[in-house]
Amino acid sequence: MQINRNFEFKAAYAWEIMPKLIQAPNVVIATLWADALKVEGIVASVQRQYLSGVAGELPPDQCLPEVWIQDAAQEARARELLHHLQYVPQRRWQCACGELVEGGFEQCWACGTWMPG
């Protein structure tokens, strides 16, 4: 099984030197994700964002911005964080007092009740 092990090692290494993380639907979201990673101590950057000016000359899937991280050792954690960012439920909820709370607040501004569950 020595050959297989070597192959797996090389594949893993090739991935680690280019830790492309995730493709974002637009630069705004890509920047948001990169900033969120930086807050967590992960050095991240947005790539391809400057190609948007020539988007009409490129296949659409090559124009989308991507969030890359600098340190491959942080990739697993970065992916986990981005997963949470992508699937975080819409922060809009109705309080028991009838107030519709929007904008990311976890506490009702009318009565002070915390967002349920």
| 93 touches Zn ion by CB under 5 A | no
CB of 114 to Zn ion, least distance (A): 10
Task: Indicate which single residue of 108, 114, 115, 116 sits in contact with Zn ion (rule: CB under 5 A).
Answer: 108
Does residue 28 touch Zn ion according to CB under 5 A? Answer: no
49-51-55 Cα angle (round to 5): 120
CB-wise, 21 or 101, nearer to Zn ion? 101
**Residue 103 neighbours by CB distance under 10 Å:** 7
Considering only residues 29-48, where is the footprint of Zn ion by CB under 5 A?
Answer: none
Q: Is 107 in the site for Zn ion (CB under 5 A)?
A: no
- Strand stretches in 10-111, DSSP E: 20-23, 44-47, 66-69, 93-94, 100-101
Start-to-end Cα distance in the chain: 49
| Distance of closest approach, residue 103 Cβ to Zn ion, in angstroms | 14
Q: Which of 11, 73, 111, 115 binds Zn ion (CB under 5 A)?
A: 111
**Residue 43, φ and ψ in degrees, nearest 5:** -75, 115
Q: How far is the CB of 104 from Zn ion (least distance, A)?
A: 16
